[in-house]
Structure 1
Amino acid sequence: MLRNGLEPWHLLILAIVVIALFGSKKLPDTARALGKSMRILKSEAKAMKETDAQKPRTDPHT
Structure 2
Amino acid sequence: MTSNTPVTRHKPPKTEFMIYFGIIFLATLPLALLTWMLAAIRTGSWTEKGPIKRAWSQARIITPMIFSA
Could you state the TM-score of these two structures normalised by the residue count of structure 1? 0.34
Could you state the TM-score of these two structures normalised by the residue count of structure 2? 0.32
The higher radius of gyration belongs to 1
Between 1 and 2, higher relative CO (CA 8 Å, sep ≥ 6) is seen in: 2
